[in-house]
Amino acid sequence: MSLMTGEEYIESIRKIKMEIYMFGEKIENPVDHPILRPSLNSVRMTYDLAQDSQYAELMTTKSPFTGNTINRFTHIHQSTEDLKNKVKMQRLCGQKTASCFQRCVGMDAFNAEYSTTFEIDKKYGTKYHENFKKFMMYCQENDLTVDGAMTDPKGDRSKAPHAQEDPDLYLRVVERRPDGIIVRGAKAHQTGIINSHEVIVMPTISMGPDDKDYAVSFAVPTDTEGLLMIIGRQSCDTRKLEESELDVGNSEFGGVEALVIFEDVFVPNERIFMDGETEFAGVLVERFAGYHRQSYGGCKVGVGDVLIGAAAVIAEYNGAEKASAVKDKLIEMTHLNETLYCCGIACSTEGKATESGAYLIDLLLANVCKQNITRFPYEIVRLAEDIAGGLMVTAPSEKDFRDPKLGAYIDKYFKGVSGVSTENRFRILRLIENLALGSAAVGYRTESMHGAGSPQAQRIMIARQGKLAFKKKLAKEIAHVTE
């Protein structure tokens, strides 16, 4: 099958009968729902860009397994050039949507699974790698969007999975049958799950021998029996129900997350990638987290580009673009954003081949990348809000603006510089509000903190990979210390 067009992708999702709930009701038609459709449009962009000759080299590549042209979001990285192109592609998608475009997590799960299953098979003689390769090539050939599900609810964080009061707080195998396994549990904060054809499930932490039932990884279609999704709330989400394009800020694109319930879901043997190999749970988590922390050096930078642009535009509309303080703030925003991009490119450039032949980023630098992501976007947002001014959060609604009586007052008193309409000034302010405080903040500001693991998770990895003993040895040699 050739690459899907954006419209073909939309129609392919329409055919999938997922069990989706929001605001206490079952959503029968998520594709056309005004709250959910912008998130689908964001994924569609990854298909549209792949069809555009201007971006085809970045968005597509040749599969080393089939020789066919595939979307890069389904690719297994074969070189450091692949790793860098991934980051560049993610920045482009962020620039085009100013939101989360949702396919990164599946791509990162693909690459973590590929090398980890290879090493499990090498040790145990299992067939997980063969299973995964068949699944991966099926997704490549059909140009599918795949979600990656790692985060368990976790319950009492001081207790291991098997020690939880409720054993379902980490997803687990509850029955093993000759033809497959039955799993039960949930995965939280699942970005883009309702816009995906398939979902790859992975363990969420390192595990010991007593956690054997929880060391499980597999893939199932998103309409699998027993799978249901509860949509999470986002700030300003119901503005999308008000038929106000202006008030939404970014009316075309957005993100979506869900709590995904696995209520005794059957997984056939050929879709299982790990089942009880507890010592490899941590390996899979570490690699997936590394790839995903690299991703933030692309996607968040692209969204940051849009926010910096919006801040520069509103400075002009306010008549403040020549002020030295405003110029300095825009320089600082750019400096921070490009520093994040440097980290994404650096961990890619320093990547190395795994035993499987697939390339893994430099894990230390990937964690440094994400550690910076937990900080810099917050400062970029603060500076954007500073430049925008208070009208960003006090502007009247579009209904007031369109009102025959009230609109004239609003247009008169909220006019900025000559030659710029009050409506255009409002549009840019609402975009900044959307990125800083609204539904897009989930995919930019707040996700920068908690996506791909909390800040402490990166600090643990930085401590583990920081080669402190080696650096102490360097210092002692320079100082001629003998012990």
Domain ranges of the chain: 284-468
- What is the tens place of the pLDDT at every residue in 470-481? 999 999 999 999
CA atoms within 13 A on the CB side of 263: 9
For residue 35, the model assigns a pLDDT of 97
On the question of pLDDT at 211 being above 90, the answer is yes
For residue 429, the model assigns a pLDDT of 98
Residues of each annotated binding site for FAD: 191
For residues 203 and 285, the answer to whether their CB atoms sit within 8 Å is yes
pLDDT category at 7 given cuts 50, 70, 90 is very high
On the question of pLDDT at 398 being above 90, the answer is yes
On the question of pLDDT at 441 being above 80, the answer is no
For residue 442, the model assigns a pLDDT of 81
Q: Which of 74, 80, 104, 222 is catalytic?
A: 104
Residues in the chain: 483
In the three-class reduction of DSSP (H, G, I as helix; E, B as strand; rest coil), residue 184 is classed as strand
Q: What is the mean pLDDT of the chain?
A: 97
DSSP label at residue 212 = G
Q: Is 299 a catalytic residue?
A: yes
The helix (H) or strand (E) run that includes residue 219 is strand 216-221
Give me 317's structure tokens: 């509309």
Q: Is 296 a catalytic residue?
A: yes
For residue 438, the model assigns a pLDDT of 87
Distance CA 149, CA 168 (A): 15
Q: Is 317 a catalytic residue?
A: no
In the three-class reduction of DSSP (H, G, I as helix; E, B as strand; rest coil), residue 317 is classed as helix
Interval 419-432 mean pLDDT? 98
Q: Is 93 a catalytic residue?
A: no
- What is the tens place of the pLDDT at every residue in 28-69? 999 999 999 999 999 999 999 999 999 999 999 999 999 999
CATH class of 284-468: mainly alpha
Q: Which of 75, 97, 292, 444 is catalytic?
A: 292
Q: Which of 9, 170, 291, 296 is catalytic?
A: 296
Determine what percent of the chain is predicted with pLDDT higher than 70: 100
- 237 — phi, psi (to 5°)? -65, -35
On the question of pLDDT at 1 being above 70, the answer is no
How many CB atoms neighbour CB 23 within 10 A?
10
In the three-class reduction of DSSP (H, G, I as helix; E, B as strand; rest coil), residue 133 is classed as helix
- What is the tens place of the pLDDT at every residue in 310-369? 999 999 999 999 999 999 999 999 999 999 999 999 999 999 999 999 999 999 999 999
Give me 107's structure tokens: 């791509």
| Poorest-pLDDT segment among 108-122, 136-150, 210-224, 448-462 | 448-462
Question: 429: Cβ–Cβ under 8 A, 6 or more apart, which residues?
Answer: 314, 388, 391, 392, 395
Q: Which of 46, 61, 116, 191 is catalytic?
A: 191
Q: Which of 93, 139, 299, 343 is catalytic?
A: 299
Residues of each annotated binding site: 191
For residues 217 and 183, the answer to whether their CB atoms sit within 8 Å is no
On the question of pLDDT at 450 being above 70, the answer is yes
CA atoms within 13 A on the CB side of 17: 2
For residue 198, the model assigns a pLDDT of 98
The three-point CA angle 124-291-100 to 5° equals: 130
How many CB atoms neighbour CB 133 within 10 A?
16
Q: Which of 93, 100, 139, 343 is catalytic?
A: 100
In the three-class reduction of DSSP (H, G, I as helix; E, B as strand; rest coil), residue 258 is classed as strand
DSSP string for 49-115? HHH-TTTHHHHEEE-TTT-SEEEGGGPPP-SHHHHHHHHHHHHHHHHHHSS--S-HHHHHHHHHHHH
Q: Give the C-alpha distances (Å, rounded to integers) separating 191 from 55, 137, 197.
A: 25, 23, 13
Interval 175-199 mean pLDDT? 98
On the question of pLDDT at 446 being above 90, the answer is no
On the question of pLDDT at 210 being above 80, the answer is yes
